[in-house]
Amino acid sequence: MKIIWLGQSGFRIETAKNIILIDPFLNGNPGAKGVDFKDVTKGANHIILTHGHGDHVGDTVDISKDTGALVTGNADLVTWLGSKGVARVDPTNTGGTVSYDGFTVTYVNALHSSAQMTEDGVSHSLGNANGVVLHFDDEPTLYHMGDTDIFSDMALINELHQPEIGIVPIGDRFTMGGAVAALASRRYFKFGKVIPCHYASFPIIDQTADKFVAGMEGGTSEVIVAEPNKHFTV
């Protein structure tokens, strides 16, 4: 499996059968330095969204039009995206699993909000915020937490899914900060590899992964501090 961080919470995941984009926020993303829109969206056949905030939905409408990718997300969010011109959507919600060729996606809980300010100047709720667990036929299981704080039912997520790769928000203010994210990763999971995200973008959130790295010291997980647009293999 090859992974490319797109800045903020966005990732491109390449497997033998699929190219998956998670929360593809590119245009207007201060953390997407050096990321070429055409390169990182080329060949995408799936877009998976954790929730409805603009820095996660990002460029989903344009990417789906360019690539024909199927967009998976909670029912409220993808119904709204359908009204914005997304032709192929697959609705789900917390606790649900959808199956595709080569992998499944299970939507799990996250502690966060999910809304967008629309053209009428009103904030519209777009369903629940979620994390997503991807089980692959021939690759390690991956858990993208979305935007969240720590919560004790993370233990149940680990019991049910036993993810080997964790993608964890660490930026503070809108999610848990680095020290708490490290506590969540060490207390509730046995990640082989863990990747911090949702930092080093907007100036009001943390700009480095230092607190997370420090909190993970002495643990058994390999921490991968990625650079945007630089692929790594897991």
pLDDT digits (tens, 9 = 90+) for 133-159: 999 999 999 999 999 999 999 999 999
Please give the Cα distance from 158 to 155 (Å, whole number): 5
pLDDT digits (tens, 9 = 90+) for 199-220: 999 999 999 999 999 999 999 9
pLDDT digits (tens, 9 = 90+) for 21-57: 999 999 999 999 899 999 999 999 999 999 999 999 9
Domain around 124: 2-233
Q: How many domains does the chain have?
A: 1
- pTM of the prediction? 0.98
What are the structure tokens assigned to 71, written together? 């967009």
CATH value at residue 44: 3.60.15.10
Name every residue whose Cβ is closer than 8 Å to that of residue 45 and which is 6 or more positions away in sequence. 18, 19, 20, 67, 68, 69, 70
pLDDT digits (tens, 9 = 90+) for 79-126: 999 999 999 999 999 999 999 999 999 999 999 999 998 777 888 899
What are the structure tokens assigned to 26, written together? 């590119």
Name every residue whose Cβ is closer than 8 Å to that of residue 80 and which is 6 or more positions away in sequence. 52, 124, 126
